[in-house]
Structures are given as C-alpha cells and as structure tokens.
Amino acid sequence: MYCFFFLLEPTFIKVPPKNLTVPEGKVFDLRCEASFDSRLEIKYFWLRDGAKLKIENPNGRIYWDEGKNVLKVDAVIPDDGGEYTCVAFTPGPASEARAAAIVNIKGSKLLLLIINAMKTRHQHHQHLLDSYCFTLTV
C-alpha cells in the first residue's frame, strides 16, 4: 500500500477591506484578497453584521463582482452602515480566513456605537492562534 501526503498552505487574508466613512447617497466599494494554496480553488462571500449579505442583480444597488471580489454599494442609505466581513475559504480540505471593516454613514441621524471586534487567525506550528483587535467608534 502506498500513501501520499500533501502539505497545503493555509488560507489567509492578505488584502483586507478598509474601514470607511461614506456620505449618504454616495457609493462605496470594499475589496478583499486572500492568499491560498494554488492547488485549491478559492471562494469568497460577504457578511454584514454577521449575516450573509444578499447580493442583488448586477443592476441592483448592492453588487458583488465575484471575479475581482469587490463589493459595491450605490446610493448609500443609513441601513448600509455596519460591519462588513470578507470570508475566503477553500472547499475540500477546509481552510477559512476572515477580515472585517466598519462602514459608517456620514450624515446619518442615528448615533452609532459600534464595537469592532476583528478576529484574525494565524497558523503557527500546527497551532491555531487567535488575535483580537478592538476599536470603539462613536
């Protein structure tokens, strides 16, 4: 019997989305790029405030260019503010990475108190290490 083992590179976010403050009625886009084992296929999806984002059709107000992994929101309204998370993963031998950005809507009549708890994961000598960053936006 012969066995073959392949060491796979972990998936991680190399270009995370950036925090933004956007005036109401304007446009914003978020970009995200992951590094992954080139023998695997990479997939992405986006969350807003922890829930999977529903992407409208290409002519809609919220559009995702899946090939470039760019999320675009036109004619911004106050409800578009929040924490946007890019999730990159490789199917099969699962490896996942996440990065988040806060989008504040300038001119919103609501006072937003957002605690940004971005969690990044790092692979280190077969141990998964978690690091946390907290910022307070008022």
Confidence at residue 123, expressed as pLDDT on a 0 to 100 scale: 37
Is 16 domain-assigned?
yes
**What's the domain count of the chain?**
1
CATH code for the domain of 98: 2.60.40.10
For residue 20, give the 3-state DSSP assignment.
strand
86 vs 133, more confident: 86
Q: How confident is the model at residue 71 (pLDDT cuts 50, 70, 90)?
A: very high
Is 102 domain-assigned?
yes
Is the pLDDT at 7 greater than 70, yes or no?
A: yes
Whole-angstrom Cα distance, residue 103 to residue 81? 5
* 70-73, strands of its sheet edge to edge: 28-31, 70-73, 62-65
DSSP conformation class of 118: E
Is 3 domain-assigned?
no
pLDDT tens profile 23-68: 999 999 999 999 998 888 899 999 999 999 888 666 688 999 988 9
Confidence at residue 108, expressed as pLDDT on a 0 to 100 scale: 64
Is 1 domain-assigned?
no
pLDDT tens profile 105-125: 886 654 343 333 333 333 333
70 vs 91, more confident: 70
DSSP conformation class of 86: E
Is 2 domain-assigned?
no
For residue 38, give the 3-state DSSP assignment.
coil
Question: Which range marks the domain in which residue 92 is found?
Answer: 12-107
Model confidence, pTM: 0.72
Q: How confident is the prediction for the chain on average, in pLDDT?
A: 76
Is the pLDDT at 133 greater than 80, yes or no?
A: no
Whole-angstrom Cα distance, residue 105 to residue 123? 35
Confidence at residue 31, expressed as pLDDT on a 0 to 100 scale: 94
Instruction: Please name every residue paired with 86 in a beta bridge, in sequence order, or none if there are none.
Output: 46, 99
Q: How far is CA 16 from CA 25, 40, 97, 127, in A?
A: 24, 20, 10, 23
